[in-house]
Amino acid sequence: MATTDIHTHLDVHHHDDHSHDHEHHEGNFWTKYIFSEDHKVIGKQFLFTGIFWALIGGTLSVIFRLQLGFPDANLDWLRPILGEWITGEGKLDPEFYLALVTMHGTIMVFFVLTAGLSGTFSNFLIPLQIGARDMASGFMNMLSYWFFFLASVIMFISFFLETGPAGGGWTIYPPLSALPQAIKGSGTGMTMWLVSMALFIVSQLLGGINYITTVINLRTQGMSFTRMPLTIWSFFFTAIIGLLSFPVLFAAALLLIFDRSFGTSFYLSDIYIGGEALPHTGGSPILFQHLFWFLGHPEVYIVLLPALGISSEIIATNSRKPIFGYKAMIGSMLFIAILSFIVWAHHMFVTGMNPFLGSIFMLLTLIIAVPSAVKIFNYVTTLWKGNIRFTPAMLFSIGLVSFFLTGGITGIFLGNSAIDIQLHDTYFVVAHFHLVMGSASFFGMLAGIYHWFPKMFGRMMDNRLGAIHFWLTFVGVYLVFFPMHYIGIAGFPRRYYSWTNFDTFNGFFDLNMLVSIAAIATLAAQFIFLFNFFYSIFRGRLASTNPWYSNTLEWTTPRVPGHGNWAGPIPSVYRWPYDYSKPGAKDDYIPQHIPYSETPESNLPHENELIKLETSGEQGAIIVEGKH
């Protein structure tokens, strides 16, 4: 596969390269589309699987929103699909309701926003944007997808168990998740959940190692770290966070498997259930929560950072401006990545954890708001005095910034332990994380799909449908999640099948109905996207090689890049990716592979210095390049 070739560089603009790169590795259907080692195909595989899961996850949420918005409705018409989960009176079974909530969370967080977002775009964009022929290890990359596929299959099968899928919440706190007598979903459903997640973690680690290695080792000539697009920076940080935190979830899951199947007591102690006292003593349920959130909180940023990276790139391109504060953006991502590891216990302020620990975690948590605020201000400043084109990708990126702001700001409430006493596990939390992590990341994913669709499939998606999709989804998401703040301040607990048992929570029928209707409409709007997506794959207008007039390297590849990405030599990089609207330049963008020597009219003084390096410095320099 990738070999290291040391040779003398003679060409000014391009690498010296060998003609056998023009060869196409055709292969048969199986090696080309199914067990492919090509990063672009693997990226698309992640994308299609992610879209499939997003539909399932979205549908689950609509089913439980039916229950919450229309508690009196007769759901008999769902019986053909849900069977016995609809009770005799035409109601959703309360335990199935919990299973729906659990699976919605698991699917959306892990399968859609981790695998679907990071898997798709890290795979697709890293080699294309850093100028590599493929990932460091195509085989591991393929394994990464197929482990994810296997995890998906197992998770999907768990829906068809008689006892139902896991139902203890996506955070699977033991003892509830450890004891089948506590809830039906903790039987075989939970076992399959754990097996599926274990495979999923393997998939993430295989992928993450590859992303990190590729970014460090396979950058093209001139692509120094400070010339990398912010997308790559974000994927790089995401992979590192994942590599450090997913093994901890693996350990947590493994110990839970031991407790469930082999009678150990890591998380169990002093339990009397089903008419008997269990023999477990000495375990701590809180231990699981520490381990879980040690992944769980970084996971938030695993989900969010790629979306922020994607939107940085798209906002800069479509504002026709350099991203404001490129280094501050990298710095804030780095800072967020580090802090994400030392704030986990803010999910546990009222678990009985030592209050002093609570104050420390509150302090650390609120510090995260600073780099996040810097990011928002930098986005806004990037828009300032821009020349903004509202492509669908740009619309979704602006939507992302709006969600990031609205949802991020409520984090200041929840990170404050004194306020969290009241708001913990209420709908305020649901509103907060669905906006800042769910919707923002989801918009990042959609923005990415709209923006890089031309490179993925060589055709354009329809802009009008994209715009309609955006406005329906943007307004829809706000209608779904904004009212939840009020419901949460009123104290409504989450994961409640119905609130009518309590006088305190016996209200807001109107808001809950509004939320449910908005949720249904928002899901329906996604079918516009699906139509646009699949129609455009086959019938969309043919794309030009650089439809958005963008600077990054992927737009120097052919319309549909083949195996190896560039038909000829890999282009060298001479400048950062954000030379948009440079004063004096002929056009409002200068791609990364254009040397300063070709743009004397727009060079800044220190850039003129670099011309010497381009012409003389590289002559005879030793270049290490990965190639096939």
Partner 1 sequence: MTSLIIGLGVILILYIFYLIFRVSNLVSIAKGRKTDRVDESNGVHAILFVVFMVISLGVFFWYSYTFFDDYTLPIASEHAVKTDSVFWITMAVTVIAFSIISIVMFIFVYKYQYKEGNRAKFYPDNHYLELTWTIIPAIVLAILIFTGLRAWNEITSPASKEAEVIEVVAQQFAWTARYPGIKDNELGKYNFKLIDPINEFGLDLSDKNSFDDFKSLELHLPKGKEVLLKIRAKDVIHSVFLPHFRVKMDAVPGMPTQFKFVATKTTQEMRDEIGNQNFNYELACTEICGRGHFSMKMPVFVHEEEEYEQWKKTQEAWLKQNPDYLKKVPAALQEAAMIKAGLQEDPGNTVAENEVK
Residues 97-136 that bind partner 1 (CB under 8 A): 98
Give the binding range for partner 1 (CB under 8 A) out of 3-11, 15-23, 473-481, 611-619. Answer: 473-481
Site for partner 1 in 199-258 (CB under 8 A): none
CB 292 within 8 A of CB 345: no
472 binds partner 1 (CB under 8 A): no
610 binds partner 1 (CB under 8 A): no
Query: Closest separation between CB of residue 523 and partner 1, Å?
Result: 15
Site for partner 1 in 546-565 (CB under 8 A): 549
Query: In this chain, which of 81, 216, 421, 621 binds partner 1, going by CB under 8 A?
Result: 421
Give the binding range for partner 1 (CB under 8 A) out of 110-118, 208-216, 404-412, 516-524. Answer: 404-412
Site for partner 1 in 512-531 (CB under 8 A): 531
Query: In this chain, which of 78, 195, 244, 475 binds partner 1, going by CB under 8 A?
Result: 475
Query: Closest separation between CB of residue 286 and partner 1, Å?
Result: 6
Determine how β-strand 276-277 pairs with β-strand 272-273.
Answer: antiparallel
Annotate 92-117 with b (16+ C-beta within 10 A) or e (fewer): bbebbbbbbbbbbbbbbbbbbbbbbb
Query: Closest separation between CB of residue 622 and partner 1, Å?
Result: 32
Task: Give 431: exposed, middle or buried? Use CB within 10 Å, 0-12, 13-18, 19+.
Answer: buried
Site for partner 1 in 247-306 (CB under 8 A): 268-273, 275, 277, 281, 283-286
Query: Closest separation between CB of residue 409 and partner 1, Å?
Result: 5
DSSP, res 616: I
* Complex with partner 1: residue 145 or 580, whichever CB lies closer: 580
Q: Which DSSP helix (H) or strand (E) runs through 8?
A: strand 3-8
Query: In this chain, which of 66, 493, 520, 560 binds partner 1, going by CB under 8 A?
Result: 493
* Complex with partner 1: residue 251 or 585, whichever CB lies closer: 585
538 binds partner 1 (CB under 8 A): no
* Complex with partner 1: residue 143 or 271, whichever CB lies closer: 271
Query: In this chain, which of 17, 425, 598, 607 binds partner 1, going by CB under 8 A?
Result: 425
Cα gap 170→430, rounded to integer Å? 13
454 binds partner 1 (CB under 8 A): no
Site for partner 1 in 136-195 (CB under 8 A): 168-169, 173, 175-176, 179, 182-183
Instruction: Provide the mask over 306-345, with x wherever binding to partner 1 is found by CB under 8 A and - wherever it is not.
Output: -------------xxxxxxxxxx-----------------
Instruction: Provide the mask over 561-600, with x wherever binding to partner 1 is found by CB under 8 A and - wherever it is not.
Output: -----------------x-xxxx----x------------
457 binds partner 1 (CB under 8 A): no
Query: In this chain, which of 490, 513, 514, 517 binds partner 1, going by CB under 8 A?
Result: 490
Nearest in space to 481 (alpha carbons), one of 445, 451, 424, 522: 522
80 binds partner 1 (CB under 8 A): no
Contacts of 324 (CB under 8 A, 6+ apart): 378, 379, 381, 382, 384
* Complex with partner 1: residue 150 or 328, whichever CB lies closer: 328
Site for partner 1 in 342-401 (CB under 8 A): 350-352, 355, 358-359, 362-363, 366-367, 369-370, 373-374, 376-381, 383-390, 395, 398, 401
SS3 268: coil
Query: Closest separation between CB of residue 497 and partner 1, Å?
Result: 4
Angstrom distances, CA of residue 129 to CA of 13, 215, 223, 313, 344 = 17, 10, 10, 11, 33
Site for partner 1 in 10-49 (CB under 8 A): none
Query: Closest separation between CB of residue 310 and partner 1, Å?
Result: 18
CB 307 within 8 A of CB 240: no
Query: In this chain, which of 235, 496, 529, 555 binds partner 1, going by CB under 8 A?
Result: 496
Cα gap 356→436, rounded to integer Å? 28
534 binds partner 1 (CB under 8 A): no
**How many other C-beta atoms are found inside a 10 Å radius of the C-beta of residue 298?**
28
Query: Closest separation between CB of residue 356 and partner 1, Å?
Result: 8
446 binds partner 1 (CB under 8 A): no
First to last CA, the chain: 6
Query: Closest separation between CB of residue 500 and partner 1, Å?
Result: 9
Nearest in space to 164 (alpha carbons), one of 187, 148, 180, 131: 187
Nearest in space to 156 (alpha carbons), one of 234, 248, 60: 60
Question: For the packed helices 120-130 and 440-457, what is the interaxial angle rounded to 10 degrees?
Answer: 50
Query: In this chain, which of 244, 467, 472, 517 binds partner 1, going by CB under 8 A?
Result: 467
CB 186 within 8 A of CB 159: no
Query: Closest separation between CB of residue 298 and partner 1, Å?
Result: 21
Cα gap 92→67, rounded to integer Å? 7
Query: Closest separation between CB of residue 574 and partner 1, Å?
Result: 17
Query: In this chain, which of 406, 550, 552, 572 binds partner 1, going by CB under 8 A?
Result: 406
Q: How many residues of this chain interact with partner 1, rule: CB under 8 A?
A: 118
Query: In this chain, which of 59, 501, 608, 615 binds partner 1, going by CB under 8 A?
Result: 501
The structure tokens 């460091």 sit at 136
* Complex with partner 1: residue 13 or 494, whichever CB lies closer: 494
Nearest in space to 428 (alpha carbons), one of 361, 491, 342: 491
Query: Closest separation between CB of residue 328 and partner 1, Å?
Result: 5
Phi/psi of residue 76, nearest 5 degrees: -55, -30
CB 43 within 8 A of CB 121: yes
Contacts of 211 (CB under 8 A, 6+ apart): 122, 126, 135, 235, 236, 238, 239
The structure tokens 């409640």 sit at 496
Query: Closest separation between CB of residue 413 and partner 1, Å?
Result: 6
* Complex with partner 1: residue 139 or 390, whichever CB lies closer: 390
* Complex with partner 1: residue 412 or 560, whichever CB lies closer: 412
Angstrom distances, CA of residue 620 to CA of 236, 418, 593, 594, 596 = 31, 64, 20, 20, 20
Letter for the amino acid at 510?
D
Query: In this chain, which of 417, 473, 516, 557 binds partner 1, going by CB under 8 A?
Result: 417
Contacts of 407 (CB under 8 A, 6+ apart): 431, 432, 433, 434, 435, 436, 437, 439, 440, 481
Cα gap 390→548, rounded to integer Å? 11
